[in-house]
Amino acid sequence: MSQTIKAEALPATQKQLAYARKIAERQNVALPWEALQDRRQLSQWIDTQLATPRACDTRPSSKQVAFAERIARIKRSAVPDECFRDRTLMSRWIDSNKP
């Protein structure tokens, strides 16, 4: 008598779901619904995302922009437009214009 044993999919843990959502937000990708239903699939999705090079956002952070604008007000000058498109340029501008 042979019985076919089918392993039931274990649901993903809350910790796993939170980590996957954080990765999805950071990588700017959608979390597949199927992966959310199975612990093993979600684990494989996480591993795949971590192995994939991260899309890098080169825009300055909101804190950088706010700090640069505060410096510009103090110095009564303007932050160059190109600095708003590149975080490295913004950082250099801030460093060279700190009061």
pLDDT given at position 5: 46
DSSP-assigned letter for residue 28: T
Half-sphere exposure of 40 (CA within 13 A, CB side): 4
What is the model's pLDDT at position 55?
64
Q: How far apart are CA 86 and CA 81, in angstroms?
A: 10
Tell me the C-alpha distance between 13 and 85, whole Å: 39
Whether 2 contacts 29, CB under 8 Å? no
pLDDT at 1: 47
**What pTM value is reported for the model?**
0.50
pLDDT band at 91 (very low <50, low <70, confident <90, very high): very high
Whether residue 3 is predicted with pLDDT greater than 60 in this model: the reply is no
pLDDT at residue 42 in the model: 92
Q: Using one digit for the tens of pLDDT, what is the confidence trace for 25-53? A: 888 788 888 888 899 999 999 999 888 87
